[in-house]
Structure 1
Amino acid sequence: MRRLAVSLNPLFSFAISGLMALGSPTFALDLTMPARVVGQESLSQAPASLALPVGVFAGGALPVERVTGALDRRAWQLDAPRMALTELAEPLRAQLEAQGFTLVFDCESRACGGFDFRFGIEVMPEPGMHVDLGDFRFIAARKGPEVVNLLISRSQGYGFVQLTRVAPAPLAEGPVAAAPDEAETDRAVPLVPMPAPVEAPVPPTADVAAALSGKGSAVLEDLVFGSGAGALEAGDYASLAEVAAWLAEDPARGVILVGHTDISGGLESNIALSKKRAQAVRQALLKAHGVAAGQVSAEGVGPLAPRQSNQTEAGRTANRRVEAVAVLPR
């Protein structure tokens, strides 16, 4: 049986292979990461049953296909501070096609269904996998009974790739690393803990309208909430005025306000608090800025999508935020 081989060349090639029992067909997948790998996580289960997305979120539902077999999910963190999402995703897509996989669908951020799509799929938890709600790519492919999904996203300085695969046989043993001048080795490599992301200062309120029209999301940086409270403190917030003006330009536009917290406290209470804060921002848009109720909704995801490490106070502060995510025109 071939092992997962990691060749320490400039591209850090990861060859991922799975073999069925002797005499059975071979199911294999070889991927080369587009940048240096600095962290990895893995999860395997056999037998398993999984609902794999096969289309974009539309009409209030995410189309899925129920597949059974050996489930493997891997996540890699890449040192990619200057790489665009396309630069991360296109080489991986090309490799799937070159290996005989047929693309089922390929979408990006808003075209996938944005918030609804992201939280309708299974994603490995932070810090193993990070997903920027306004900057991710999802690729689904199939080769015979082998089904593969790739989820690609970015954060400050890093790229993230998650592979979800269901096939009759699991991926080969691994990971195994090669010495710098060797093609393969039998020396096992332990899973690498994810390093804390490089923290950058939270920028002042930027051009919210441009961000909504461009990447499809904008963090409302100037909002102020009381400690542990869901109410928005009184004040004139430039970010809300920009959101309102952007929505007023086209009645078909809409946004989902997504509340976020840091990791402190319980998951359920944090999700509830984040939703209260998003709802408070929605009420401010409706009452103070005259936004139509149908153009804005509110959700909360608690600590599930941090943008910086929760290990420092600066990071926890940056993670407590409300983000506006543009939805597809009605």
Structure 2
Amino acid sequence: MPLVAALLFPLPAAAEAAFRPVMPAPVTAEASSTNPHGSYNLPVGLFGAEGVPVHRLEGALDRRAYRLDAPGAPLLDVLVPLRDQLVAAGYEVVFQCEDRRCGGFDFRFATDVIPEPAMHVDLGEFRFLAALRGEEGVGVLVSRSTGAVFVQVIQISAQGAAPAAPSDAPSDAAAPAPDAVPLPAAPVSPVTPPSADAAAPDMAPLDAGLPVALDDLVFASGSGGLEPGAYPSLLALAGWLGADPARRVMLVGHTDASGGLAANVALSKKRAEAVRQALIQGYGVDAARVTAEGAGPLSPRATNATEDGRTRNRRVEAVPLVN
């Protein structure tokens, strides 16, 4: 289905109205959160040795994510109409970039990204735009999944600015979004961005169809929850998946032999699922490309007779799946 050209509806004076885009395709889901006294570090440059340059803004914060029914649509076909609306509303576009040129993983981690499932970012295919209007700013992030395009619009407007109602939008414009659901007031990430000098494990065995153990992961004792931290193995695995859209993996959790079989299998699956969620929410991996299972103590790689052996047996492995 071709995209419908988005036309700008009239806006009140800049200080009296927040920017409300007309999406260039039907909206199937929308999520939002607002804060009358918020702040936003708007990215205004490429990721470099000192991180991503930002312009800090304060005011009424509005964060929205849209899922568009636009399978196969080029991202520029979505971004350009939104950019045109911003320019017509008096904004100046100060920065634009595309996935790897932006800085890839590092850029994505350095900017505010609304968590899954509201906003999905394909690390190999996204575009970002920043625009300013005085001390008001808008950041637009566009990416996709297999069947949809995702748009994130984060803006800082004047304190108390009211949303502009799209009552004058053309009748052939995309249908209005369903009722928005609330988002967290701040982005949620299960892990912190890996440091630039962190050592990454070798993912080459995956190319040969062999499993790779993610040995740097840390779980609380007896718990299925992944501790917050910088995990080079997850960054490397996300990069391996991002290099080829056909790649898929199964995450398999393993435990030592202490305790009952059923409890250990359940615990190992919980840990594998925690890693899966970290990849999806923290690293932008498509949920359909990662599954999670638990093997408990059934596949040891060391003896369970020593503490060192039991520690080596407690792990999560990435197993490549054949398409």
> Is TM-score (shorter-chain normalized) higher than 0.5?
yes
2:71 aligned partner, one-letter code = P
Give the distance between the partners of 1:128 and 1:119, measured in 2 at CA. 17
Q: Is the 8 A contact 2:29 2:177 kept in 1?
A: no
Residue of structure 1 aligned with 2:42, choices 52, 71, 87 = 52
How many residues align? The count is 223
Q: Is the 8 A contact 1:39 1:78 kept in 2?
A: yes
Give the distance between the partners of 1:18 and 1:72, measured in 2 at CA. 18
Question: Which deviations, in whole Å up to 9, do the C-alpha atoms of 1:87-136 show, x marking residues without a partner?
Answer: 11111112211222111111111111111100000110001001111111
Name the structure 2 match of 1:225: 211
Question: Secondary structure of the equivalent of 2:287?
Answer: coil
Question: Secondary structure of the equivalent of 1:95?
Answer: helix
Q: Is the 8 A contact 2:119 2:151 kept in 1?
A: yes
Matched, 1:190 2:207: no
Q: Which moved further from structure 2: 129-138 or 91-100?
A: 91-100
Residue of structure 2 aligned with 1:145, choices 125, 135, 139 = 135
Mark the CA change 1:103 to 1:34 in structure 2 (over 3 Å): closer, same or farther: same
Residue of structure 1 aligned with 2:286, choices 307, 316, 327 = 307
Matched, 1:316 2:291: yes
- Alpha-carbon distance, 1:148 to partner: 0.7
Give the distance between the partners of 2:68 and 2:7, measured in 1 at CA. 12
Q: Which moved further from structure 2: 70-79 or 265-274?
A: 265-274
Give the distance between the partners of 1:315 and 1:272, measured in 2 at CA. 17
1:230 aligned partner, one-letter code = L
Residue of structure 2 aligned with 1:268, choices 215, 221, 227 = 227
Q: Is the 8 A contact 1:138 1:152 kept in 2?
A: yes
Q: Is the 8 A contact 1:37 1:79 kept in 2?
A: yes
Question: Secondary structure of the equivalent of 2:48?
Answer: coil
Question: Secondary structure of the equivalent of 1:128?
Answer: coil
1:143 aligned partner, one-letter code = R
Give the distance between the partners of 1:128 and 1:51, measured in 2 at CA. 20
- Alpha-carbon distance, 1:275 to partner: 3.3
Name the structure 1 match of 2:156: 166
Give the distance between the partners of 2:157 and 2:133, measured in 1 at CA. 10
Q: Is the 8 A contact 1:16 1:172 kept in 2?
A: no
Matched, 1:61 2:51: yes
Give the distance between the partners of 1:188 and 1:230, measured in 2 at CA. 41
Question: Which deviations, in whole Å up to 9, do the C-alpha atoms of 1:292-322 show, x marking residues without a partner?
Answer: xxxxxxxx9533223135xxxx75269x969
Matched, 1:96 2:81: no
**Which 5+ residue runs of structure 1 have no aligned equivalent?**
1-8, 194-219, 232-263, 282-299, 324-330
- Alpha-carbon distance, 1:51 to partner: 1.9
Matched, 1:80 2:70: yes
Question: Secondary structure of the equivalent of 2:107?
Answer: helix
**Which 5+ residue runs of structure 2 have no aligned equivalent?**
183-205, 216-222, 241-276, 294-316
Matched, 1:40 2:24: no
* TM-score (ref. length: structure 1): 0.55
Taking only aligned residues, the RMSD between alpha carbons, in angstroms, comes to 4.4
Pairing of 1:257-296 with structure 2 (within 5 A) = 265-268=224-227, 272=231, 274-275=233-234, 278=237
2:234 aligned partner, one-letter code = K
Mark the CA change 1:222 to 1:36 in structure 2 (over 3 Å): closer, same or farther: farther
Mark the CA change 1:109 to 1:308 in structure 2 (over 3 Å): closer, same or farther: same
Question: Which deviations, in whole Å up to 9, do the C-alpha atoms of 1:130-166 show, x marking residues without a partner?
Answer: 1111111110001122111100111101101100100
Mark the CA change 1:98 to 1:17 in structure 2 (over 3 Å): closer, same or farther: closer
Give the distance between the partners of 2:18 and 2:159, measured in 1 at CA. 9
Q: Which moved further from structure 2: 11-20 or 144-153?
A: 11-20
Give the distance between the partners of 2:77 and 2:318, measured in 1 at CA. 29
Mark the CA change 1:99 to 1:10 in structure 2 (over 3 Å): closer, same or farther: same
Question: Which deviations, in whole Å up to 9, do the C-alpha atoms of 1:50-75 show, x marking residues without a partner?
Answer: 32212111123111122111100101
2:214 aligned partner, one-letter code = G
Give the distance between the partners of 1:128 and 1:172, measured in 2 at CA. 23
Q: Which moved further from structure 2: 38-47 or 88-97?
A: 88-97
Question: Secondary structure of the equivalent of 2:19?
Answer: strand
Pairing of 1:115-154 with structure 2 (within 5 A) = 115-154=105-144
* TM-score (ref. length: structure 2): 0.56
Identity of aligned residues (%): 39
